[in-house]
Structure 1
Amino acid sequence: MLSPSKLSVPHLLLAPMEGMVDELMRDVLTRATPYDWCVTEFVRVSGSLLPARVFLRTVPELRHASRTAAGTVVRVQLLGSDPACMADNADRLASLKPAGIDLNFGCPAPTVNKHRGGAILLDEPELLHRICREVSAAVAGRMPFTAKMRLGVQDKSRAIEAAQALVDGGAQMLVVHARTKEEGYRPPAHWPWIARIAEAVKVPVVANGEIWTVEDYLRCRAESGLQDVMLGRGAVADPYLASRIRRHLRGEAPAECAGEDWEALQPLLRDYWQAVQIKVEARHAPGRLKQWLNLLRRRYPQAEQLYQQIKPLRVAAEIDRQLDTGWSAAHVR
């Protein structure tokens, strides 16, 4: 049960989502809703000291005081398995003054795990400890240092041991995705396990996984005993979810209000589409817009209609024409 001291304003964080939330998506999502901070997709560390340009390419916000255009602070995530190399890269990254450094022990992707990265390391608590210890020493006192983990690889038997290894190594906060690597993103999320971890470590713990609605947030809070959450795909599907959670906690009516309807989302969609066309090769750009609309249609019937209209299109100019004529058709009250 939440203690009175934990019933203050919750921290609501935007998750790192590889292949989905890059600087373009971070920009539009943090313009839609303020977050306490967001975490980038991982920068892979694989045996060499990366030049500064690699970090700046992945995290262009580093050129702007480690903030998005809307002012949300950006923490940078590293992924790797060599303690010394991770520390060297964390030290170089720290010289670029990110708002914080996070370590990825949660990615379930087979290609990442095959190369000893992400969630596969949760079966090696001693290695987790060494990585955190080395990185913590490299960045000590310069910025927040956190880690993100899952509940294990195939089962949850070592979840608490892994969490304690990260914290004993120096992680100042844990974000816990409430599923194992093998469970991937399949429902349900096992939020009570986050409560067990929170009881076993002496640093703040943030809950993550399967929070799509205000009701999901409330269930997660009840089962984990925590109010601080990191929103992932739910924030992409509903860019105003964090605002809805905050409004509910303030006791305000859940009805739509100015700035949180489909009309307000349209300029963000347009801006995102224009930015994607600048960044991404023409043949890949349509897929990025469709990926977002595919998630948005979970909440917005208007997005469903627009998605179906552009789904067969492969050329950016065709999508431009459809967007010019499709907004009103997709506008369903």
Structure 2
Amino acid sequence: MPRLLLAPMEGLVDAVMRDVLTRVTPYDWCVTEFVRVSNTVLPSRVYTRVAPELLAGARTPAGTLVRVQLLGSDPERMGACAEKLARLQPAGIDLNFGCPAPMVNRHGGGSVLLDEPERLFRIVQAVRTGISGRVPLTAKMRLGVRDTHRAIEAAQALADGGAELLVVHARTKEEGYRPPAHWPWIARIAEAVKIPVVANGEVWTVEDYRRCVAESGCRQLMLGRGAVADPFLAERIRASEAGQAPSRAEDDWARLLPLIGHFWQGVLHKVEQHHAPGRIKQWLNFLRRTFPQAELLHQQVRPLRTAHDVEAALRAAGAC
């Protein structure tokens, strides 16, 4: 069976969404949104705020292992923060060299570091020293900043620095999330390093999964926006690999409705009520890519401004 991981997605896959998505299919593990490392050694409460699962054995309520992602550019501070984080016993520590957000890149973090392989090496090496083998260490990268000419060099720097596994998002920083993803480049990187490589990028369906495997040579995949748009995607992939007929999206809406309600309650518990409608609208906007029923519900919820009105609409749809 393939190894399937749930991607870190800033502003989208927080602890509430991780809870929902891992209830459908037990991923091999998932990764949190990034914790930004800047000028100080972060206190434990910063990590437990991003990853409340650390207070429950580093697992989601459904039992999926949770790794915590760090983002930063200073090797010494990254190593010190990793040492502090390792004491909380996450299922692993992941390093973010893939974020394309301009605000992150302006401060020397994320994918902009792919132009500096020597610094990549020093960051990973410092983190490796800080955690002293207490937890697994992985890294996530893109194919480069503007082009792919340093992709191999960057991947080798991460592997040589001590990363035990490398997730490759098959686009450059400048390409952002625009299709296509360049899956054959993942195969080239996998040939150039001696650690496992996981493919990531533009897998929305079982058919995409099959093409990604064929072009990348990787049977290990990290699912991101595709898993948010279709919470049953990992289940469909596993069924396909087992030679079973996967369930059809049009038949799964009834299964999804209680999860939408569970997500809504989780959001209400986490954020102030006036922020809650935006979160459910965000998810429905993804879901309508897969489910026609989500298109209708999104149209109904979109103009609503209060949590009370949104909840009434969700209740009418059978989600609450």
Alignment correspondent of 1:127? 119
How far did residue 72 of structure 1 move?
0.1
Aligned residues: 318
Alignment correspondent of 1:153? 145
Deviations 1:274-308 (A, max 9, x none): 11112112221101000000000011011110000
Counterparts of 2:177 and 2:207 in 1: how far apart (Å)?
19
* Candidates 209, 229, 239, aligned match of 1:217: 209
* Counterpart residue identity of residue 58, structure 1: V
* Counterpart residue identity of residue 219, structure 2: Q
Alignment correspondent of 1:28? 20
Give the TM-score normalised by the residue count of structure 2.
Answer: 0.98
Counterparts of 1:106 and 1:222 in 2: how far apart (Å)?
23
* Candidates 71, 79, 90, aligned match of 1:79: 71
How far did residue 188 of structure 1 move?
0.1
Alignment correspondent of 1:176? 168
Alignment correspondent of 2:306? 315
Alignment correspondent of 1:38? 30
Runs of 5+ in structure 2 lacking a partner? none
How far did residue 16 of structure 1 move?
0.1
Counterparts of 1:55 and 1:94 in 2: how far apart (Å)?
10
Deviations 1:158-192 (A, max 9, x none): 00000000000000000000000000000000000
Alignment correspondent of 2:159? 167
How far did residue 254 of structure 1 move?
2.7
Alignment correspondent of 1:265? 256
Deviations 1:74-98 (A, max 9, x none): 0000000000000000000000000
Runs of 5+ in structure 1 lacking a partner? 1-8, 329-333
Counterparts of 2:140 and 2:246 in 1: how far apart (Å)?
31
Counterparts of 1:300 and 1:256 in 2: how far apart (Å)?
10
Contact 2:236-2:247 within 8 A present in 1 as well: no
Alignment correspondent of 2:295? 304
Alignment of 1:247-266 (within 5 A): 247-256=239-248, 261-266=252-257
Deviations 1:5-54 (A, max 9, x none): xxxx2110000000000000000000011100000000000021000011
Alignment correspondent of 1:15? 7
Alignment correspondent of 1:295? 286
* Candidates 227, 241, 260, aligned match of 2:219: 227
DSSP 3-state at the match of 1:97? coil
Alignment correspondent of 2:108? 116
**2:275 is aligned with 1:275:** no
How far did residue 236 of structure 1 move?
0.3
Counterparts of 2:196 and 2:148 in 1: how far apart (Å)?
20
Counterparts of 1:197 and 1:138 in 2: how far apart (Å)?
27
Alignment correspondent of 1:238? 230
Contact 2:203-2:226 within 8 A present in 1 as well: yes
Alignment of 1:34-73 (within 5 A): 34-73=26-65
Deviations 1:179-211 (A, max 9, x none): 000000000000000000000000000000000
* Counterpart residue identity of residue 278, structure 2: G
Alignment correspondent of 1:4? none
**2:276 is aligned with 1:285:** yes
Counterparts of 1:92 and 1:171 in 2: how far apart (Å)?
18
Deviations 1:96-136 (A, max 9, x none): 00000000000000000000110000000000000001101
Deviations 1:245-283 (A, max 9, x none): 0100111113449xx711111111101111111211222
Contact 2:35-2:70 within 8 A present in 1 as well: yes
Contact 1:106-1:148 within 8 A present in 2 as well: yes
* Candidates 82, 87, 99, aligned match of 1:90: 82
Counterparts of 1:174 and 1:34 in 2: how far apart (Å)?
21
How far did residue 327 of structure 1 move?
3.6
Moved more, 278-287 or 45-54: 278-287
DSSP 3-state at the match of 1:136? helix
Give the TM-score normalised by the residue count of structure 1.
Answer: 0.94
Contact 1:306-1:327 within 8 A present in 2 as well: no
Identity %: 68
How far did residue 313 of structure 1 move?
0.3
Counterparts of 1:92 and 1:26 in 2: how far apart (Å)?
24
Counterparts of 2:132 and 2:167 in 1: how far apart (Å)?
20
**2:184 is aligned with 1:188:** no
